[in-house]
Amino acid sequence: MSLSTGVLEIAILLVSVILHENAHGLVARSLGDQTATAAGRITLNPIKHLDPVGSLILPAFLYFAHAPVFGYAKPVPVSPRNLKGTDRWGFALVALAGPVSNIVIAFIAVTLVKHRQLSFDLSGNATGSLLAEGLFFAFRINIFLAAFNLLPIPPLDGSRLIRPFLGNEGRRVLDRVEPFGFVIILLAITLLGQPLFRLVGIIESGLLHLLPI
């Protein structure tokens, strides 16, 4: 991978996670919660969204380690009590907005590939130009981001999607676990490894059926 390709991939990743977080904030605002707006998080300004580890150090480390580039932004703050839906379906809709935004970006990437008649190989390659490589990465990383975020592990979006189906005690357990969510995710990746990413792959396969590949 060339340096220019690596820089392009990190830039696309940053744009993707920023749009993901903005989608959460916009849907929360439409449902009555102004928390993200008050915090200045409904913006395309990357400084407002950057997490030093997840947005810069982790992607750069993965790039130089010749591993798949991945990362995350600071989660947009949401106050469930302010949402229409009383922390049940309202919170679930806010959570769903993030993965949906990633699917939309992937759809746009596929559409541009077809419009420009570029070479696009779902087995993992894009050939012909830096534009083709960028669009392929935009497609691939956004499908991965959507699938990974749908895992039911706090603070991922999937954990918020299952809240409407849990009782009060179940939701309290999620709330208690969430502050340690990223540690749990790292442990899950370390200990489960292949089974976890096999589950992500199953979700990815389902999402691919939503796109005109």
Residues annotated catalytic, as ranges: 21
For 159, phi then psi, to 5°, come to -70, -30
Q: Say what the alpha-carbon torsion angle 18, 24, 28, 29 is, to the nearest 10 degrees.
A: 30
Give the gyration radius of the chain's Cα atoms: 17
User: Whose CA is closest to 41, among 56, 57, 51, 26?
Assistant: 26
